[in-house]
Amino acid sequence: MSESPARHLPLQGASNFRDLGGYPTIDGRTTRWRHLFRSNHLGQLTAADVEIVRALGVRSAFDFRGLEERAAGICVVDEITVYSLPIEPTVVATLRAELARGTLTAPVALEIMRESYRNYVRHNTHSFRNLFGHLLEDRAPLVIHCTAGKDRTGFASALILHALGVPDDVIADDYLLTNQHYKRDATAAIDLPEDVRNAIGSVEASYLAAAFEAVGKEYGDLETYLRDGLKIGAVERTALKERYLQA
């Protein structure tokens, strides 16, 4: 039996660059290797990294960063067309407001993170809907990313895997892989307490659960969210599976 490709690609100028391939689905198929990647931003890739990404055949990137974030780290791979799906960051500004009031603690930071995930559903569903519209156009191999590749990208990846029929426990495991591969920027938000920076520099199951909690409150359940929020009905779901699953 041949070995599976590496899930995590250890790039020097990016961390958390991972393949969403090789995951089993409830109908006995698996997600295709080397079609769907997730990462942090691609603005600091080395020349060697660029060659690795080129060899993967990546031609499209779907970028959830806000306006200022994008300007601070423009994709350095010329062949990649970047599609902006902006979700403006709110967490650090909210944390600093709590700090100024003297009310910032690690538990407060955790709840701010959870609330940001709920807001993906409440206020940013259009960006995830646009992502699925692009996925239906079959631009693979492609990469989905934000700044850290863990929160906006993590929720997007969970939605994709769910639409493809990957079981919830496998989706959760993929989400938590960020904690093994993401390298925090030591210079970011240094005005915040260390325990707070730890909370925002990793992922927790409760973050993703908060997003799905919001899905339940806003749409009833995840299947309805896919259909009504993301416009992925039965026809679209079949098309996604044909593109991104293998027998």
Residue 38 near residue 158, CB atoms below 8 Å = no
Instruction: Give the separation between CA 81 and CA 128, rounded to whole angstroms.
Output: 18
19-28, 70-79, 162-171, 206-215: lowest mean pLDDT where? 70-79
Span 138-189, pLDDT tens digits: 777 999 999 999 999 999 999 999 999 999 999 999 999 999 999 887 777 7
What does the pLDDT read at residue 1? 45
pTM for this one?
Answer: 0.95
Span 6-25, pLDDT tens digits: 999 999 999 899 999 999 99
**Average predicted confidence (pLDDT) for the chain:** 94
Instruction: Give the separation between CA 57 and CA 140, rounded to whole angstroms.
Output: 8
What does the pLDDT read at residue 72? 84
What does the pLDDT read at residue 15? 87
